Structure 1
Amino acid sequence: MSEISTTATRLEPDVHTVRIESTNHDGSFHGKNISPAKFTACADSGFAMADLLFGLDLGNAPTLGFAYPAWRGHLADLQFRPDMSTLVRWAPGVQSVIGDYWQADGTPIGTCPRNLARMMVDRLATRGFTATIAVEIEATLFQESVHEARAKGYRDLTPLGGSAGTAYNLAKSKDWVDYMSAVVRRLEQIGIEWEAWSDEDAAGQVELNLIPADPISVCDNWARTRQVMREVAFELGHTVTFMAKPTAGYGQASHVNLSLQRDGGNAFYAPDGPSDTMRHAVAGLLATMRGATSVMLPQITSFRRLVDLSGPPTTVTWGIANKTTAVRAVVGHPAYSRLEYRVPGADANLYLAVATILAGVIAGIDGKLEPADPISDMAWCAPDLERLPDTITKAADALESDLILREQLGDEFVDYWVGTRRWEWMQFHTTGGDPFAELSEWESTRYFEFP
């Protein structure tokens, strides 16, 4: 049986639309709606998508001022290739599938987030390791519909569930519970398993935890979960944002938990604390952290979260069971020993964040790097600790000069990403951004709905 016939048999009889799905470098959810006949005919060869997918900013302007990779042309077509293992029934009559971007000659696009993450997973496998990750999805919910939010310029919105901002608060109004209950029901319908959801620190903020799994599956589930949360909000007349700091209050994060397995066991576990592999991994993460910050905090608003004592890490540090550091090590348990990478904001593209984290881990293991002593005290407000870059341009400069991440992620991605971040800085300063505001109207308009 041919691949195309196999694809045809996997479409359900009542399907009238197949939605192809991906994220671009900024983490926006993109795709096309395809007829079943067209999908069956082209699933093997791929679907044409203009290269502007990776060439437009979040304001829909073409990014300029830096060298384009060889595959960028005058609206040249890229090939979207579906990964049929991700085919699910999304809604009555609709199936959806996630895929990657390739050149016509079969070369993977170096800035395709899913390609980059898979490349790091494969590289880790050549060293005898598999990775398990988990992600904490944070979002802020508002009573207003997205249309009302747009009319108000995404400002002065009403938090869903009440104004209380203490974490784990169960005294929420019914609309809050109804929304999250609808979200998890939808996730279950499309086969995404979740572990927990709860009130977070800011008013209207929620944290949703998906089950740990292999990196690509978790990233796929992350992308789809955010889409589910948007669709449910629209259906219930509310709105949701994954903006790093949607109000002048608390920001929101996207912490990544990671463990490595080798020969059937947890490679991060040792009875007396961090294993050698965990120490090397930590050292690699610290060595690349300043450059990695550009990926973990991708937008102008991302850096407004970096305030001491407010939750996010602000220093290049690690500690054992220390949530004030950038990397928290959980040790002493054969199953649960892991690293929590606490830098990413809720606006980070998880595929790129995971690729960059794994790049640091691989470099640390390959070089048998050793980290500085873990921080046992509070890592905030410490004058003797190295600080994370606190602006989009400082972080871009750090990534541009990071030889480890260049080697692991490739010049094509690093140069392209740095160019887009400098473009973002220029747009902010020339099209209405206010660097002195707690949160400018420019940022709300640009980032509230995207990524």
Structure 2
Amino acid sequence: MTVPGIIQPSDLRELIVAGEVDTVLVCFPDMQGRLMGKRVMARYFWDNVLEGTIEACDYLLAVDVDMEPLPGYTFASWETGYGDMSAVPDLSTLRVVPWIPRTALVLCDLVVEGGTTPIEVSPRQVLRRQLARAAERGLTVKIGAELEFFLFRDTYEEAKAKGYKGLRPHSDWIEDYHILQTTRDEYVIRDIRNGMDAAGVPVEFSKGEAGHGQHEINLVYAEALEMADRHAIYKNGAKEIAASHERSLTFMAKWSMDDVGSSCHIHSSVWADGGETSLATTDGDPKDLSPTVRHWLGGIKAASRELTWLFAPTVNSYKRFQPDSWAPTAIAWGDDNRTCGLRIVGHGAHRRVESRIPGADVNPYLAYAGIVAAGLHGIDNEVDPGPAFEGNAYEATDVERIPSTLVEAVELLEGSEVARAAFGPDVHHHLLNTARQEWVAANKTVTDWELLRGFERL
């Protein structure tokens, strides 16, 4: 199916000649899921990069959110000299970016500089490798992501000058499903919806969410790699569009303890025949999961605890997991039960597994790879998820709990046999070091809370 907004190289050529595109964003995701890359003059892109590569420093897969080079990696370090890697344009991702004048964008796969060998620790390749494992089993994985964010009346510059305190949410009251308040927000949210749609990131709808100034924009369900690409473009573009209106928004998992967190619920399903035939249910009761999907659910349930870091990658992520908060604390599955970490939703061919564990701060490529790795573990080992949980999972005493801290999640990831088997030792090491370095960075910081609590009274 042709997606509006996606263009062919011949279309790009016409836009360049007509002067309608003069810049191409040549991008790839880093370990945080952010778009890294270069702004390339369109004519140079056409002559030299379209069927070639462009180079970038390999330290970009070994830095933290502050762009500080981190120790502990075998892939890239001061000892290895931080050399180059090559970015190969994936021309199926070529699109125009309507909110930036005369600009197109293409996403890239990373390979060894001057060669064709994929860089296995690059997030897009991590997901590609899991999808290849699914394909070996005759399966196609489709994903839908529900991303939430908070919108503020402050600009990003104003927010930073305030130390991100005392910000003004775009709504003074909780706007969950409200039309009146979301109409007041529409000058920003409409531009995000329409901008994404025009950039080949199809949108289903937007709605107010359960926080002050909180919104959710749902993207159209798609195959997993396509959805991860859309997810990354959407997060980057939403911030750019908000900034153009002198507003800011955040995808932090928990921007304030006084408000709800922001999630990235991940819906997943498995299909046969190249993605044409749903394996969701049996031929009998349309609510009965097929054995394949039941095992897929069983694997996700069994492995979510040890793979939690992929769904909650920062210190802040774990502050979202609060009782009675709409964010789950229990690794249990239920039939349309929002108190559970896993929920079965949808009907017939569109019946699917929703993981409510991930926050909006995830790297989509790694989070989706975690879902696929867990699901395939379930299929390969015929893991049964057990009966659906009924009742309030927040109060249950007989279910596993999501790790409550980053430290616990790092320990679980380190000992995860599912991660080792699915990702291989090199990728597992790279992910584990990224997780460990997040905790090291947190331990180097004295917080305002510590000063307020201890400066005078301890």
Task: Choose which of 390, 397, 420 in structure 2 pairs with 1:376.
Answer: 390
Rounded Cα–Cα distance in structure 1 between residues aligned with 2:11 and 2:193: 29
Match of 1:427 in 2: 441
Greater alpha carbon shift after TM alignment, 8-17 vs 114-123: 8-17
Rounded Cα–Cα distance in structure 2 between residues aligned with 1:278 and 1:98: 31
> Which amino acid in the other structure matches residue 36 of structure 1?
A
Q: Are 2:62 and 1:52 aligned?
A: no
Rounded Cα–Cα distance in structure 2 between residues aligned with 1:166 and 1:189: 27
When residues 388 and 437 of structure 1 are mapped into structure 2, their CA distance, relative to the original with a 3 A threshold, is farther
- State the shift of 1:111 in Å: 1.8
Listed one character per residue, the Cα deviations across residues 145-202 of structure 1 (whole Å, up to 9, x for unaligned) are: 1111111111111111x21114112221654111111111212222221111000001
Aligned length: 430
Match of 2:280 in 1: 268
CA contact (8 A) 1:49 1:78 kept: yes
Rounded Cα–Cα distance in structure 2 between residues aligned with 1:173 and 1:294: 33
**1:7-406 alignment runs, 5 A limit:** 10-11=12-13, 12=15, 13=17, 14=19, 15-39=21-45, 40-64=47-71, 66-69=72-75, 73-90=80-97, 91-104=100-113, 105-160=115-170, 162-172=171-181, 174-248=183-257, 249-263=259-273, 264-270=276-282, 271-272=284-285, 273-330=288-345, 333-406=347-420
Listed one character per residue, the Cα deviations across residues 3-41 of structure 1 (whole Å, up to 9, x for unaligned) are: xxx957743222221111221111222111012343231
TM-score (norm 2): 0.89
- State the shift of 1:436 in Å: 6.1
CA contact (8 A) 2:193 2:217 kept: no
CA contact (8 A) 2:315 2:438 kept: yes
Rounded Cα–Cα distance in structure 2 between residues aligned with 1:379 and 1:56: 38
Rounded Cα–Cα distance in structure 2 between residues aligned with 1:418 and 1:393: 11
Specify the SS of the correspondent of 2:260: coil
TM-score (norm 1): 0.91
Structure 1, unmatched stretches of 5+, are 1-5, 439-451
- State the shift of 1:394 in Å: 0.8
Taking every aligned residue pair, what percent have the same amino acid on both sides?
Answer: 30
Specify the SS of the correspondent of 2:303: helix
Listed one character per residue, the Cα deviations across residues 97-155 of structure 1 (whole Å, up to 9, x for unaligned) are: 01121113322112211111122112111111112211111111000111111111111
- State the shift of 1:67 in Å: 4.1
When residues 437 and 276 of structure 1 are mapped into structure 2, their CA distance, relative to the original with a 3 A threshold, is farther
> Which amino acid in the other structure matches residue 193 of structure 2?
V
CA contact (8 A) 1:356 1:409 kept: no
Match of 2:4 in 1: none
CA contact (8 A) 1:71 1:103 kept: no
Rounded Cα–Cα distance in structure 2 between residues aligned with 1:111 and 1:288: 21
Rounded Cα–Cα distance in structure 2 between residues aligned with 1:375 and 1:216: 31
Rounded Cα–Cα distance in structure 2 between residues aligned with 1:246 and 1:29: 22
When residues 49 and 8 of structure 1 are mapped into structure 2, their CA distance, relative to the original with a 3 A threshold, is farther
Instruction: Kindly report the root-mean-square deviation, in angstroms, between the aligned alpha carbons of the 2 structures.
Output: 2.0
When residues 168 and 59 of structure 1 are mapped into structure 2, their CA distance, relative to the original with a 3 A threshold, is same
Structure 2, unmatched stretches of 5+, are 1-7, 453-458
> Which amino acid in the other structure matches residue 84 of structure 1?
L
